[in-house]
A and B are shown apart, each in its own frame.
Chain A
Amino acid sequence: MKLTVNGTLRELDCDPEMPLLWALRDLLQLRGTKYGCGKGLCGACTVHLDGKARRSCQVTVAEAGAAAVTTIEGLSADGTHPLQQAWREHNVPQCGYCQPGQLMAASALLTASPTASDDEIRSGMSGNLCRCGTYPRIHAAIKSAQGKVPLADQAGD
């Protein structure tokens, strides 16, 4: 099987039905993408496929093969994506576990709708759970990064 992840073509030997989540984590050692539910309910596993947010637990390796996959490791070359900076300015993370998924969801959201309203941010981010309750800061960080996110997904390519 072949996957293009963060701009690099990777070969892997696995069941084509394996969810992308586990291929990234167990086979490609890209552990920034997290498991939270395995059922598309929590968003911890969010990555980009051709710039769009997808739940990597709900996409098979075979399905992902044709797309450009971007993970949190490839969101920016050096951790300076405007949202990553905003996350640090607002001290968003508590335990931090959901945050890679939150950042991937937020970056896809702002790329798709750069001027998303408060309500659009709320509904756009509601697929991503944070058990620690960092929602108010996620919301504030997204607001402050609005206008700073590049229109095309810059990651890895």
Chain B
Amino acid sequence: MTVLTRVSRRRFLQLTGVAAGGLVLGAALPGRAALAGVLEQSSGAALNVFVSIREDGTVEIVAHRSEMGTGIRTSLPQIVADEMEADWQRVRVIQAQANPAYGSQNTDGSRSVRDFYPVMRQMGAAARTLLERAAADAWGVPAAQCAARNHSVVGPDGRTLGFGELAARAATLPMPEPSTLRMKPESDFRYVGHGLPIVDLQDMTVGKATYGIDVHLPEMLYASIERSPWLQGRIKALDADAARTVAGVSEIVELRAVEGPPGFNPIEGVAVLASNTWSALRGRGALQIDWTRSEHSEHDSAAYLDELVARVEGGPGEVRRRRGDVEAALASAQQVVTATYRTPYLAHAPMEPPVATARFSDNGCEVWACTQTPQATRQAVADALGLDVDAVVVHVTLLGGGFGRKSKPDFAVEAARLAAHAGRPVQVVWSREDDIRHDYFHACSAQHFRGALDVGGRVTAWLAREASPPIGATFDTTVSMNSEGGLSQTFASVPFAVPNLQIESHPAPAHVRIGWLRSVYNIPYAFGVGCFVDELAHAARRDPIEFWLALIGDDRLLDFSGEGFSYSNYGRSLEDYPYDTARLAAVIRALADRIPWKTPLPAGQGWGFSVANSFLSNMAVASKVEVRDGRLRVLEMHGALDAGRIVNPDRVHAQMEGGMIFGLSLALNGEITFGGGEAQQSNFHDYPVARMLQVPPLIRTYILPSEAPPSGVGEPPTPPVAPSIANAVFAACGQRIRELPLGRHFNV
């Protein structure tokens, strides 16, 4: 149930830092469950979004989510503008500061449009209703004879009053009851469903867009921090004499870690403050620090992964989902197929590394940050400085990429602590080396599968065991088993119509900060599942796409509750967002229809296919590769997506292109290793991300038309990519690669 409330101009100013025009609206909705596995620190359950209209007719729409490249600063306001009949040319988008009045501002989990689409429509409809009533009052006619059209209200005989002229009067009217709001028929949408250019396009092409790293305050110092090379190391000895002599360096500060789990707390380190970034980096390079050892300072990722593999191959784990009798079915099978897959740690590497700026005064702390989580940032800064949360203001800049890294506000806490110490504004700049060595790493994994086939090539049993360090360990070090939310990302939620199925987990204690990265556990699990289905298809001598469709089986709504598994459904109810296998099958068929899947290819080339349901959307990918003389080239990638109703198709295509390239990048190159507790990669030379030369010249994206509620877009394109490429490699050259990245086996 929505409650519409008017907010005062003062309140609007507090929330956005921008003085409001005449009419200010707000909406409150009960909070929504967070994506399982993602800790949310926002205290508020209410959600507020604000529209204001200036006397000159400018409609100001607040973007309360963070722009990291998805186009959300355009897509959400675009819904409001459409529903309220505003002229997009006269809309100004204002970035919200952190405030629980907006409900969750945590921009991850591919849920900005899916959670806020109805709210944005209500906001627009409420504004439109008030404007229509104001016009009716002005003319002394019934409101039913007044209709908003393109920034004006049109009355009887075609008379009109502009939104700007009506704003002051509209602001005095009582708020409409939500139940009385009349929504525009979707067939009348002018903006929703159209690819409006993003509001930041001009700024981004002339170098005027402001990211976290572009914030500059008078008297500001720049800080570079040398952090403990391994988790939970502490400063044992520090020699800063040489650093102090570097021109421009003003101060050296020891940043001690707080005890407890990593959480969003800064890693222990030594900060060098200087008058410019270069001096800070040089001074920091001159530090001599000895670090204490910790229980993680021997972490060796190769040995660790071997151990996880031994565990999943060695015996049964804890059963997480069970149907029928897998052991019996395996014992009586015509053919048993077995495979083990391993995937490495990954780093986010957004093009803009983490950067935050803070200013401390008697009134509290003000922070500017490229953050995906404004409210968690605010809370973390308040906690670190012992301030009331109201004494912390968080300004959200544009993000030069996020991918989940900037959901963790440790870097903003560093800036706040240093600003409080220095008594001057401080900007903390993470170098690329800092970013890669000290990331919240994406979990590595080991997965073991056994499949039983009957004489007809049908799957009669599916056994899957995994071990992967859980995100939960970052917040509670006693956690070592992946959560239901984690396993709900493909591994335990496989949509297969097989009579016997069992999903098991083994523990995998964390030795590094584990975090979520674009599409999260779907990355390793869709790789394991997507490759193993392909292996079964080949064992059964069936076409892989037809085999997938057979394995998914009849059209039905999935419900795992009878099998002991509590499926997260990405925080939404199965009533609102059913897991419908008909839609999954439809993306497979749509893609299969668009690629020459069965046309014979020259020797050394092959097609590979995979599909994944994630973030309530379905995405299928087919890749065509060539393997020749040890060199692997991806020649084509095609993706089909069903993400329900689409608000901005151009941005959805862009997310598909980008998400697929992200998947290609991790499939070919992505790997972080640890030795002696330290990440062994540090920059783009040893942690390569895809370059234009690696990207297939042909990438095609198809969006399935749908009137279902909007579902995730930013993450779903990534998971099926890696298995599609590995499967294509098998088709091309007969080599079955069961680990990532593929660059371990081929020249990529």
Contact = CB atoms under 8 A, between A and B. Distances in A.
B204 A93 contact: yes
A105 to B, nearest CB: 10
Contacts of B665: 133
B689 interface: yes
A126 interface: yes
Contacts of A128: 692
B207 A100 contact: yes
B206 interface: yes
B280 to A, nearest CB: 10
A72 B206 CA distance: 6
B723 interface: no
Contacts, number: 175
Contacts of B352: 34, 36, 95, 97
B204 A99 contact: yes
Contacts of A27: 276
A128 B658 CA distance: 15
B661 A133 contact: yes
Contacts of B650: 91
Given A88-B201, A91-B197, A97 B206 contact: no
Contact of A88 (B70, B205, B655): B205
Given A42-B351, A126-B691, A26 B205 contact: no
Contacts of A134: 654, 657-658
A73 to B, nearest CB: 5
B247 interface: yes
B69 A96 contact: yes
A38 interface: yes
Nearest to A123: B693
A33 interface: yes
Contacts of A19: 278
A113 B202 CA distance: 26
A84 B432 contact: no
B163 to A, nearest CB: 27
B725 interface: no
A25 interface: yes
A36 B353 CA distance: 7
Nearest to A100: B207
Contacts of B213: 31, 34-35
A135 B695 contact: yes
Contacts of B350: 95, 97, 131
A87 to B, nearest CB: 5
A39 interface: yes
A94 interface: yes
Contact of A129 (B200, B208, B279, B684): B684
A116 interface: no
Determine which residue in A14, A29, A98, A131 has the highest number of CB atoms from chain B within 10 A of its CB, and name it.
A131
Interface stretch (B395-403, B416-424, B539-547, B571-579): B395-403
Most buried by B among A38, A44, A95: A95
A101 B656 CA distance: 23
A73 B207 contact: yes
B200 A132 contact: no
* Chain A at the B interface: SS class: loop
B556 interface: no
B277 A26 contact: yes
Contacts of A71: 207
A78 B526 CA distance: 47
A93 B68 contact: no
Contacts of A33: 207
A95 B429 CA distance: 19
B214 interface: yes
A37 B684 contact: yes
Given A129-B689, A133-B695, A97 B400 contact: yes
B690 interface: yes
B515 to A, nearest CB: 16
Interface residues of A, number: 60
Contact of A39 (B207, B248, B683, B691): B683
A137 B657 contact: yes
B628 interface: no
Interface string A110-142: 000000001001110111111111111111000
B483 interface: no
A33 B206 CA distance: 10
Interface string B204-220: 11111111011010000
Contacts of A93: 69, 198, 200-201, 204-205
Contacts of A121: 692
B349 interface: yes
B660 interface: yes
A43 B349 CA distance: 15
B351 A36 contact: yes
B693 A94 contact: no
B82 to A, nearest CB: 19
Interface string A63-103: 00000000111010001000010011001111111111001
A41 interface: yes
Contacts of B198: 91, 93
A87 B695 contact: no
B338 interface: no
A103 B692 contact: no
Contacts of A133: 657-662, 665, 690, 695
Nearest to A37: B432
Contacts of B654: 91, 94, 134, 137
Contacts of A88: 197, 201-202, 205
Most buried by A among B202, B247, B351: B351
Contact of A26 (B222, B684, B699): B222
Contacts of A73: 206-207
Contacts of A32: 206-208
A135 B351 contact: no
A22 B278 contact: yes
For B204, B349, B353, B650, which residue has the most chain A Cβ atoms within 10 angstroms?
A: B204
Given A35-B213, A84-B206, A95-B352, A129 B201 contact: no
Contacts of A129: 351, 684, 689, 691
B206 A130 contact: no
Contacts of A59: none
B5 interface: no
B682 to A, nearest CB: 9
A149 interface: no
B684 A42 contact: yes
A79 B205 CA distance: 7
B195 interface: yes
Interface string B622-659: 00000000000000000000000000001000110111
B680 interface: no
A26 B269 CA distance: 24
Given A94-B658, A96-B69, 12 more contacts: A27-B276, A29-B216, A31-B216, A34-B400, A35-B213, A35-B429, A92-B205, A93-B198, A93-B200, A95-B400, A98-B400, A127-B691
17 contacts: A14-B276, A15-B279, A34-B352, A36-B351, A37-B683, A41-B684, A41-B685, A72-B206, A75-B206, A93-B201, A96-B203, A103-B205, A131-B349, A132-B658, A133-B657, A133-B662, A135-B695
Interface of A: 14-15, 18-19, 22-23, 25-27, 29, 31-39, 41-42, 44, 71-73, 75, 79, 84, 87-88, 91-100, 103, 118, 121-123, 125-139
